[in-house]
Structure formats: structure tokens, C-alpha cells
A and B are shown apart, each in its own frame.
Chain A
Amino acid sequence: GAVVSQHPSWVICKSGTSVKIECRSLDFQATTMFWYRQFPKQSLMLMATSNEGSKATYEQGVEKDKFLINHASLTLSTLTVTSAHPEDSSFYICSARDGTGGGWAYEQYFGPGTRLTVT
């Protein structure tokens, strides 16, 4: 089945620094990738949608200058949290859509998530 990986699985950084999270589709071409954020005991919140080769579309209330998304290839999207603060500590999850296959059923495959802790 389709596999999506994330790296790193967890990261600790100091307040004010930037951290980059990678999302890769390992065995399919992902024309669209999505980034979610999840706080403890809460549901997933969609942050942005990124299409390969174009700018990401951010959901209302998500700061595009703080959460930089790059989707430079069909298998890789990156999320950079700039000038991180403790309130950015969260579980970040990506998903990828297989744009080459037919059908709607399996259009999104989720990565295992990255736990970010900002100290």
C-alpha cells in the first residue's frame, strides 16, 4: 500500500529557532499534500494544502509567514516552523494524495506524525 513518511519523528528546539519537517510519499507521486496540527486530546486541524510546484493554500487563521510550506517535487513537501515558540509545540501530521491513480477512495495517505517540542 501507499506509504508516507515524516522526518523527524520528534524534535526538540529552542524558542526562536526554526525547524523543518519533511513529508515524503515513498511509492507514489503526491500531487497534493496536506499539513495538519494536533494538540493533545484534540482533533486534527488542517493547516494548509500544497500542490506540487505552486504556492500552498493556508486555512483561515494559519500564519503563512510562520509556517512555510514547500512542495518542490512530487514526493516531498516540507513544513518549516519559523521562530518557534512554546505554543507551537504540537503533533504535526502530513498526508499525501496520489494524483496518478484512479478513484476517490484512497486519495489521502497519512504520515506517522512529527512531535515538536519548543523549549
Chain B
Amino acid sequence: DAKTTQPTSMDCAEGRAANLPCNHSTISGNEYVYWYRQIHSQGPQYIIHGLKNNETNEMASLIITEDRKSSTLILPHATLRDTAVYYCIVRVMDSSYKLIFGSGTRLLVRP
């Protein structure tokens, strides 16, 4: 699986949009981009995933660049409960179903 690069930490004000970047310049054509988050001392939570097109669900939006070398996770109106470590993962949809976690971005939402 391709590796990802994320900033170590970010912060944003409560109520504002949080934009979390992820670089995956070596991504292959059959690899998806997944985002998970982990609130302190809990198990990871699935957020969103995509292949080429931008995706949106009730939690977030995922913007993937046309060349697929990078993506941005957008939390449109961050709340204090969104403070967590956010992991960007690229993986092939194969029978192993493995998720390999990188170091992630620690997002702090300020009141």
C-alpha cells in the first residue's frame, strides 16, 4: 500500500471548517483513500472514503485532486468533540482488507 504524509498537528476554531490535508503522491490507480479518526483512548472511527470523485456524507467531505496525489478531509463546522487524531490511509480493495495506519494529524478544536 502507498504511504501517506500528513501534518503532525493542526488546530481550528469551533464552528469553523477544519481542512485536513493528506499527501499520497505514490497512490496507485486501484487504491482508495480512507479517513478514520481516533478520539483519545478509543477505537478508530470510520469517516469517509473515495477513489476519484469527491465524496460527502453526514460527517465530512473528501476532496481528491484530479491527479489523486493528495486529498483533503473537510469537517464543515468543527465542534469540540471533533478533537481527535485523523488518519488518512490508502489501500487496495483486495482480500486482505488490511488497514495500515500512519502517524495521522492531531486536530485540536479550540472553543
Residues from chain B with a CB closer than 8 A to the CB of A110 are 43-45
Number of A-B contacts (CB under 8 A): 50
A112 near B98: Cβ-Cβ < 8 Å? no
A100 at the interface (CB under 8 A from B): no
Of A32, A97, A105, A112, the contact of B43 (CB 8 Å cutoff):
A112
Q: If A49-B96, A97-B97, A107-B97 touch, does A113 touch B41 (CB 8 Å cutoff)?
A: yes
B43 near A104: Cβ-Cβ < 8 Å? no
Interface residues on A, range: 20 to 34
Identify 19 residue pairs between A and B in the complex whose beta-carbon atoms are under 8 Å apart, listed by A's number.
Answer: A34-B97, A34-B98, A34-B99, A36-B101, A43-B101, A44-B44, A45-B101, A46-B100, A46-B101, A49-B96, A49-B98, A91-B41, A95-B43, A95-B44, A97-B97, A105-B46, A107-B97, A111-B43, A113-B41
Residues from chain A with a CB closer than 8 A to the CB of B43 are 4, 93, 95, 110-113
Residues from chain B with a CB closer than 8 A to the CB of A49 are 96-98
Bound Cα distance A77, B45 (Å): 20
Residues from chain A with a CB closer than 8 A to the CB of B93 are 104
Bound Cα distance A93, B99 (Å): 13
Residues from chain B with a CB closer than 8 A to the CB of A115 are 41
Name which residue of chain B comes closest to A43, CB basis.
B101
